[in-house]
């Protein structure tokens, strides 16, 4: 791949924005932004001033008052809601702010343009250090409106689904907000996913359009994106247009469906009346892995999601007006949705869009960025910290990090070594470090230490305390509630909260089965947790067949489905095993048809390519072991526990194997593993 070329987007944004007329005074054109701000309600006058502990108590005992006043005061409504919530966790009927109408893009843009149009909304930290682009709230509103008008002029209407296949950039944010403005539903697909994975998501959501870039730029490399989209849309008859942004100067072959995004946007008006959306209309779908082979389209709606993202953003990170908020996640994941885009923008923050990698051009990249952009909150994944702490601390210390006030960790358990390094080396021991636990389905942070709670101690490497409105319960093996402290069980949340997913797109039954049926009356997270003697929560990991590779969630069944497509492979089993930097990596046990035994090396290479092409490169198993058969119970269920013991070299302690159909299979697999290790050790 070629090294990164000079890019055009900066030029485009500047040209585009310099052509924009002066901002209109608020209220000159009809639309939501012309409405007067709501009168101050209970939230600002009394609720928000309560100490945290009391706020939490109120949120649990009187959720209607807590969330109702927060929604009135923090969001701008076109029509007020008449009921705070109507939820039944046994059927999955979850509605918040009933009857209310609002527009999310107005809450993220117009309201701030009225008060501080020239505040920087986005700092696009591009791959090449020192080439950042700043976009003000006024500029972002205008760019969003031009993009919204572009979508509208190509027939995209309220309720239509639009796939966004782009790395993080101002145009990716504008594409999300443009959908929100016109009432279309965006589904951002991480730009590292393969064409098949993209196609599967477009088909499931029946997207009418795709917004993409010609290429991405990351770690000094140019990554082709348009060819991936071209291959995907060939099997997606619902797609009528592909809007292509030019991230680089390299020429792009344009086909019948393709629309040059910047070119068309320039001729569109910079004003677009916002659609009045019902609180419970869909805002976005985000596909995530579950325990079956098919990713689920998690559905988030308008008001509840936005309110929850903004409240958590403010309280968990102690965000203060004027702070520069640096979340280094990609917009392709929920962290990017809630803490790069919606939470910070709803709060009028300056939010950083980080396009690069933690080690480009060197391992000081994050901290050089902190110094240059004067970042106040830094939110990242443990996997990057584990990678960085292996380098000399000088890579951190040489940069000025005095702007930092809060550090945050997300996506996977943070080990003690990474926590202490982040806290003491990066934060010089003076910044609260919050381990935040949440999920795509929860919409926002659910368990975190909450540094704004003055004086509350933070226990290292622990998510600790539930956020407002979150009531964690731990369940035992028989479905009983575990009371008291010092207990471990299945982590459930027993009260609905406004940010929670409403359903799985097109499959409400799957939503109910996966989250609400396992422990009736509660939302089951799929994670296990321990409640310490002090009553704090420690996440102990997934209880299902979902693994977490470098903070990316993967279903082992998805990988198995991809492997099983190979004609030489009748059966596979994939498990996750610990990895020093990535957290976990997939380990695949593969059964080959007898006639292919001699070709195993070739086949394994084909299997790697198959997984990369069906899912993504990060899903390719780090380890493969060819076995004659898999350990199964008499009812035919694969006993993954045994495979895990073998792969982690703890086979001395296999536990009960009496339910195996043929226990001799264990010896066979151990021998295959030992043989494999011997070959690996050969020079």
The binding site for ligand PRX (CB under 6 A) comprises 288, 334-335, 410-413, 435-440, 463, 525-527, 539, 542, 548, 553
Least distance (Å) between residue 609 CB and ligand PRX: 25
Residue 312 token pair: 């958590």
Residue 444 token pair: 């926002």
Residue 100 zone, left/alpha/beta (φ > 0; ψ -120 to 50; rest): beta
Least distance (Å) between residue 158 CB and ligand PRX: 28
Cis peptide before 361, with omega less than 30 degrees from 0?
yes
Residue nearest to ligand PRX (CB): 440
Question: CB 364: neighbour CB atoms within 10 A?
Answer: 22
The burial class, CB within 10 Å (0-12 / 13-18 / 19+), for 176 is buried
Residue 198 token pair: 């993209």
Least distance (Å) between residue 412 CB and ligand PRX: 5
CB 366 within 8 A of CB 359: no
Residue 398 token pair: 């040489």
* Of 484, 386, 496, 537, the residue nearest 94 (C-alpha): 496
By C-beta, is 170 or 413 nearer to ligand PRX? 413
Least distance (Å) between residue 380 CB and ligand PRX: 12
CA distances from 233 to 198, 236, 296, 316 (A): 9, 5, 20, 40
The DSSP output letter for 386 is H
Least distance (Å) between residue 525 CB and ligand PRX: 6
Least distance (Å) between residue 441 CB and ligand PRX: 7
CB 364 within 8 A of CB 398: yes
Question: CB 592: neighbour CB atoms within 10 A?
Answer: 22
Least distance (Å) between residue 430 CB and ligand PRX: 22
* Of 372, 363, 310, the residue nearest 337 (C-alpha): 310
Least distance (Å) between residue 288 CB and ligand PRX: 5
By C-beta, is 23 or 413 nearer to ligand PRX? 413
The count of C-alpha atoms lying within 13 angstroms of the C-alpha of 555, restricted to the half-sphere facing its C-beta, is: 17
By C-beta, is 150 or 440 nearer to ligand PRX? 440
By C-beta, is 151 or 575 nearer to ligand PRX? 575
Least distance (Å) between residue 548 CB and ligand PRX: 5
Residue 518 to residue 511: CA distance in whole angstroms? 11
CB 485 within 8 A of CB 533: yes
Least distance (Å) between residue 226 CB and ligand PRX: 27
Pairing of strands 523-531, 487-493: antiparallel
Give me the helix-helix angle, 195-205 and 226-233, nearest 10°: 50
By C-beta, is 113 or 546 nearer to ligand PRX? 546
Least distance (Å) between residue 314 CB and ligand PRX: 18
Question: CB 511: neighbour CB atoms within 10 A?
Answer: 21
CB 491 within 8 A of CB 528: yes
Residue 207 to residue 238: CA distance in whole angstroms? 6
Residue 159 zone, left/alpha/beta (φ > 0; ψ -120 to 50; rest): left
Question: CB 127: neighbour CB atoms within 10 A?
Answer: 22
Q: Tokens 């990596």 identify what position?
A: 585
By C-beta, is 97 or 379 nearer to ligand PRX? 379
* Of 248, 406, 256, the residue nearest 324 (C-alpha): 406
Least distance (Å) between residue 605 CB and ligand PRX: 29
Residue 14 to residue 143: CA distance in whole angstroms? 11
Least distance (Å) between residue 409 CB and ligand PRX: 6
By C-beta, is 529 or 642 nearer to ligand PRX? 529
């Amino acid at each position: 791949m070629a090294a990164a070329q000079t890019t055009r987007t900066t030029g485009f944004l500047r040209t585009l924005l310099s052509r924009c007329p002066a901002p209109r005074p608020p209220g000159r054109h009809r639309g939501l932004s012309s409405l007067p701000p709501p009168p101050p309600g209970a939230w600002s006058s009394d609720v928000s001033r309560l100490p945290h502990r009391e706020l939490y108590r109120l949120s649990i005992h009187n959720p209607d008052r807590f969330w109702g006043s927060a929604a009135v005061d923090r969001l701008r409504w076109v029509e007020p809601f008449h009921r705070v919530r109507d939820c039944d966790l046994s059927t999955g009927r979850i509605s918040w702010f009933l009857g209310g109408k609002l527009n999310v893009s107005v809450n993220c843009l117009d309201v701030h343009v009225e008060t501080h149009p020239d505040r920087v909304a986005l700092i696009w930290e591009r791959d090449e250090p020192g080439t950042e682009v700043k976009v003000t709230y006024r500029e972002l509103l205008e760019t969003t409106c031009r993009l919204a008008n572009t979508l509208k002029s190509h027939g995209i209407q309220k309720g239509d689904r639009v796939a966004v296949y782009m790395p993080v950039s101002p145009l990716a944010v504008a594409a999300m907000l443009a959908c929100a403005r016109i009432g279309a539903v965006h589904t951002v697909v991480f730009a590292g996913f393969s064409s098949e994975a993209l196609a599967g998501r477009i088909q499931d959501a029946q997207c009418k359009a795709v917004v993409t870039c010609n290429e991405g730029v990351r770690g000094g490399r140019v990554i082709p994106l348009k060819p991936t989209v071209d291959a995907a849309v060939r099997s997606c008859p619902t797609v009528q247009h592909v809007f292509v942004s030019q991230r680089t100067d390299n020429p792009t072959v344009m086909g019948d469906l393709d629309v040059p995004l910047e070119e068309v946007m320039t001729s569109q008006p910079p004003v677009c009346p916002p659609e009045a959306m019902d609180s419970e209309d869909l805002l976005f779908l985000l596909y995530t892995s579950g325990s079956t082979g098919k990713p689920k389209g998690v559905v988030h709606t308008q008001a509840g999601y936005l309110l929850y993202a903004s409240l958590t953003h403010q309280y968990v990170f102690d965000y203060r007006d004027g702070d520069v908020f640096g979340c280094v996640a990609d917009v392709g994941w929920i962290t990017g949705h809630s803490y790069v885009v919606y939470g910070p923008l709803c709060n009028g923050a300056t939010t950083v869009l980080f396009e690069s990698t933690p080690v480009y051009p060197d391992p000081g990249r994050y901290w050089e960025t902190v110094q240059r952009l004067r970042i106040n909150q830094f939110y990242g994944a443990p996997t990057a910290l584990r990678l960085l702490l292996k380098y000399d601390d000088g890579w951190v210390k040489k940069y000025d990090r005095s702007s930092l006030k809060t550090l945050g960790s997300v996506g996977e358990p943070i080990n003690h070594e990474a926590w202490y390094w982040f806290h003491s080396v990066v934060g010089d021991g003076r910044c609260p470090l919050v381990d935040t636990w949440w999920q795509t389905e929860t919409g926002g942070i659910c368990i975190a230490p909450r540094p704004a709670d003055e004086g509350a101690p933070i226990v290292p490497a622990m998510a600790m305390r539930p956020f407002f409105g979150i009531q964690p319960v731990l369940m035992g093996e028989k479905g009983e509630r575990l009371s008291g402290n010092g207990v471990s069980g299945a982590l459930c949340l027993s009260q609905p909260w406004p940010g929670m997913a409403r359903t799985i797109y097109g499959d409400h039954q799957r939503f109910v089965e996966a989250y609400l049926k396992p422990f009736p009356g509660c939302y089951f997270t799929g994670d296990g947790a321990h409640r310490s003697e002090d009553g704090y929560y420690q996440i102990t990991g997934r209880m299902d067949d979902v693994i977490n590779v470098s903070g990316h969630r993967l279903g082992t069944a998805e990988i198995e489905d991809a492997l099983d497509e190979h004609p030489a492979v009748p059966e596979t089993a994939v498990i996750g095993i610990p990895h020093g930097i990535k957290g976990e990596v997939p380990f695949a046990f593969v059964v080959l048809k007898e006639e292919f035994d001699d070709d195993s090396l070739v086949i394994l290479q084909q299997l790697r390519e198959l997984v990369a092409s069906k899912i993504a490169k990060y899903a390719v198993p780090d380890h493969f072991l060819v076995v004659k058969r898999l350990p199964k119970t008499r009812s035919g269920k694969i006993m993954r526990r045994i495979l895990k013991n073998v792969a982690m070299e703890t086979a001395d302690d296999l536990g009960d194997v009496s339910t195996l159909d043929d226990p001799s299979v264990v010896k066979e697999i151990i021998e295959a593993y030992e043989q494999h290790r011997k070959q690996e050790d050969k020079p």
